[in-house]
Amino acid sequence: MKLWDKGFSTDKKIDHFTVGNDRELDLLLAKYDVIASKAHAKMLGKIGLLTDSETSDLVNELDAIAKTIEDGTFTIEDSFEDMHSKIEYLLTEKLGDTGKKIHTARSRNDQVLVAMHLYLKSELQEIKTETITLFNLLMDLAEKHKDIMLPGYTHLQIAMPSSFGLWFSAYAESLIDDLYFIDAAYKVADQNPLGSAAGYGSSFPIDRTFTTKEMGFETMKYNVVAAQMSRGKVEKATAFGMSSIAATLSKMAMDICLYMSQNFNFISFPDELTTGSSIMPHKKNPDVFELVRAKCNKLQAVPNQLILITNNLPSGYHRDLQLVKEVIVPAIQDLKACLEILTFSLKEIRINNTILEDPKYDYLFSVDTLNELVQNGMPFRDAYKKMGMEINEGTFSPKRDIEHTHEGSLGNLCLDGIREKMKKTL
């Protein structure tokens, strides 16, 4: 069944090419098409295009379909083009002519739009919740390990003293920036496009304010052409938010892979969270974190994929837009998986608390030793030259009893301030 069926069939090769993997993806979206269809049916009843009895029958049957979606028994067979055609078929099979009335005053275009907006709202909220869970874990780890020193690197060269408190809370605070992008994407998604039909509205006297409130949107996308143009745009906004989180996760995963190396030996994990080698019995590989790194690097390409699909399209609907679904939906699942596995794994992290006992880290303290000379009255440039000469001559003696007090330094992590900043994103 196809919603545009006019009584003749298309070539099977054309059908396969144009449908693509819509059926598989629509199993994730069908819940939201039902939500929108219920709101649409109630609106049709409100304006007199359905009787009270017809409205009630449609809503009840949509609730029954929703239950099959929830329990996993809803399917979209090859004879159906997508979720929309399957749901309308089920309504017609149960309710006869009443089922056929559900498509009054809407198009598959605004059906897809509103389902996607509802889906993205839900998924963005889930991503935000999972990001906050990871944030809280990182902040707890920062508090727990705040006094354990860690070498800081620039250019992958030994640089200055850091701490696990700084390291964990740095990634926690970075996630707050990422959530600003997620919140922006949510605001874009939180606009009801239903009622824009094929992109130019309808001659039926529909009530878009009613459906906006019924589905829990903050506002509607008022202009019907603008509503149609949101397809691709709302996915791009979501992708930019996701890519920001992915960049943070990828960088942290890279740190973890380095820090687990025997050359660093800063951290470790239980054997059950690592993998081995088929020929090297000593290996404990960070496969989980390497895959997080790779998946998150891949996720950072998603905005560009969507741009390249949509950037030269004029206004109005084009079939190119079908492809944005197969880019954004798997990307969302990948990001949620990465957030979940990082949270799961980091709970078991083991910290080496004797890292700086290695003499190669003596030079970490050159800046603090220099700064003490300056505080005692020596001009900075003279202190810098003196320190350089001592290092070159091998007479440098590090000042290890360092004291950093300014906001955000290893001696003053401002963890409460970071937590307060996160609260404001809620």
Mean pLDDT of 154-174: 95
**pLDDT tens track for 7-20:** 545 445 554 444 45
Q: What is residue 283's predicted lDDT score, i.e. its pLDDT?
A: 57
Q: Which carries the bigger pLDDT value, residue 100 or residue 362?
A: 100
The tokens describing 322, both together, are 């079908």
Going along the chain from its start, the domains and CATH numbers come out as: 12-104 (1.10.275.10), 109-145+164-355 (1.20.200.10), 357-424 (no CATH)
pLDDT above 50 (res 332): yes
Q: What is residue 79's predicted lDDT score, i.e. its pLDDT?
A: 85
Mean pLDDT of 169-175: 98
Distances (CA, A) of 206 to 43, 83, 209, 219, 357: 7, 24, 9, 16, 74
Q: What is residue 271's predicted lDDT score, i.e. its pLDDT?
A: 83
**pLDDT tens track for 33-47:** 999 999 999 999 999
In this structure, of 42-51, 67-76, 304-313, 365-374, the range with the lowest mean pLDDT score is 365-374
Burial of 410 (0-12, 13-18, 19+ CB in 10 A): buried
Q: For residue 279, how many other CB atoms are within 10 A of its CB?
A: 6
Q: What is residue 280's predicted lDDT score, i.e. its pLDDT?
A: 57
pLDDT above 90 (res 371): no
Distances (CA, A) of 392 to 11, 386, 389: 79, 10, 5
Closest residue by Cα to residue 94 from 67, 57, 49: 57
Q: Would you give the end-to-end CA distance of the chain in angstroms?
A: 44
Please answer whether residues 357 and 398 qualify as being in contact, where contact means their C-beta atoms are separated by less than 8 angstroms: no
- Give the C-alpha separation, 3 to 20, whole Å: 16
- Give the C-alpha separation, 73 to 46, whole Å: 32
The tokens describing 202, both together, are 């309808």
- Give the C-alpha separation, 328 to 80, whole Å: 22
Burial of 99 (0-12, 13-18, 19+ CB in 10 A): buried
**pLDDT tens track for 399-426:** 788 888 899 988 999 999 999 999 998 8
pLDDT above 50 (res 117): yes
Please answer whether residues 180 and 152 qualify as being in contact, where contact means their C-beta atoms are separated by less than 8 angstroms: no
Q: How far is Cα of residue 208 from the mean position of the Cα atoms in its chain?
A: 30
